[in-house]
A = this chain, B = another copy of it.
Amino acid sequence: MVRPERRTVRDLRRGNRAVLLRALYFAGPTSRHELTALTGLSAATVSNVTGDLLADDIIVEAGLVDSDGGRPRVLLRVNPTYGFAIGVDVGETHVRVELFDLDMNELAKSEFALRPGAHDVDVVVRHVLSGIDAVVADSGVPPSKVLGVGVGVPGIVERGPEAMIHAQTFGWHSVPLGSLLRAGTPFPLHIDNGAKTMGQAEMWFGAGRGSRHAVIALIGSGVGASIIADGVTYRGANSSAGEWGHTKIAIGGRGCRCGGRGCLEAYIGAEAVLERAGIDVDTSTEQAAFAELVTSGSPVIDETVEYLGAGLANLINLFNPERIVVGGWAGLLLGQHLLTTIKQRAAENCLTQPYSTASIVLGRLGPDAVALGAATLVVDEFLLSTTSSSVSREPAVS
């Protein structure tokens, strides 16, 4: 119940420093003058704080801009090579590790295939760790400049020092992935559910930009969602919020791979859709088969769209977002061909007032943005807490 918390006068500085850095990061090259408007700080403070940040090499000057008839403005920007972030995507078919600078340019990449069904924890951990070593070596980035590693994994991630994972599809039950990775790498770790990391990528660089209340719906073989409440990913009490795929849309309905009945995923997840259409596939042919099915005019797709519309409507009724982003490879395929129908079905199943203020759009980053999103976790932390003096970091997993 007790909400706000600030104490000393030093926290003020830290806070304002973070506000300013964040504004600079998302607004791109900006003059000090504009920053006063963006942050609400006085010109004196902006000058003071930017001075600090320049001295720390966290931001750099980025050219001049004329100001009609006066001193030209000096543009400032975040120094893209001040630090680097590593993003890891642990998927059903692969482990992908990418290294980015602060502008999110990909500087190196390392990928390992996973054999279907072979999601041994040891194997995954080994791939992740060697991937980290590989991208650091390939990019030539000195390890001291690596700000951290973000990891997107399937299933439920309990945040905490151990980062316990529960992932049914991987057969992972209470796997302390944080501890396991920590033993093999010195970099700060940020472990989160893959749907949430991808959601953050869409929020920062994709279809979610500019909205404060949004839901990113991810439809692939499975179904998940990332809920953005007031600009930040909503996690709930134990970080498992957003398990949209296993909400019930039919009592006693179709069986789901989670063991339950009537889950939304059992109707709109690509695996379930293909099964319902009587198409037999394996992981390698799944996407092609689904793409063909979508354009085939099959009644199964009509039904799928009906359920998808209802599922989206439920999200709108419960969360009242300003935007719904439909993503995931299957979601993108459905959306590319049937977006208007999907919207129609959503409207039919939703209260008019919240529906009218929500826009349903397609994701813009493609299905492979999990690693990018994972890296944004690192950047997010960096923007929030750049304590200039102390370089030491507490070795916590967050």
Residues of A near any B CB (own CB < 8 A): 1-9, 11-12, 15-16, 18-19, 22-23, 26, 38, 40-41, 156, 166, 203-204, 209, 212-213, 225, 227, 229, 231-232, 234-244, 246-251, 258, 260, 262, 306-307, 310, 313-314, 317-322, 348-351, 353-354, 357-358, 384
In the assembled complex, the CB of A372 is this many whole angstroms from the nearest CB of chain B, namely: 16
Q: A9-B9, A166-B353, A251-B250 are in contact. Are A1 and B318 (CB under 8 A)?
A: no
Nearest chain B residue, comparing its CB with the CB of A323: B237
Residues of B near A258 (CB, < 8 A) are 351
Nearest chain B residue, comparing its CB with the CB of A40: B7
- The residue among A8, A38, A237, A358 with the most chain B CB atoms within 10 A of its own CB is A237
17 pairs, CB–CB < 8 Å, chain A vs chain B: A1-B26, A2-B23, A2-B38, A166-B353, A213-B236, A225-B318, A237-B322, A238-B320, A238-B353, A238-B354, A242-B320, A243-B318, A243-B351, A246-B317, A246-B351, A248-B313, A249-B250
Cβ of B231 and Cβ of A229 under 8 Å apart?
no
Cβ of B6 and Cβ of A231 under 8 Å apart?
no
- The residue among A7, A213, A239, A262 with the most chain B CB atoms within 10 A of its own CB is A7
Cβ of A353 and Cβ of B229 under 8 Å apart?
no
Number of copies: 2
- The residue among A9, A166, A203, A246 with the most chain B CB atoms within 10 A of its own CB is A246
12 more A-B contacts (CB under 8 A) besides A251-B306, A262-B310? A1-B204, A9-B9, A156-B353, A236-B319, A238-B357, A241-B318, A243-B317, A248-B349, A249-B249, A250-B250, A251-B307, A318-B318
In the assembled complex, the CB of A87 is this many whole angstroms from the nearest CB of chain B, namely: 18
Residues of B near A248 (CB, < 8 A) are 249, 310, 313-314, 349
Residues of B near A16 (CB, < 8 A) are 6-7
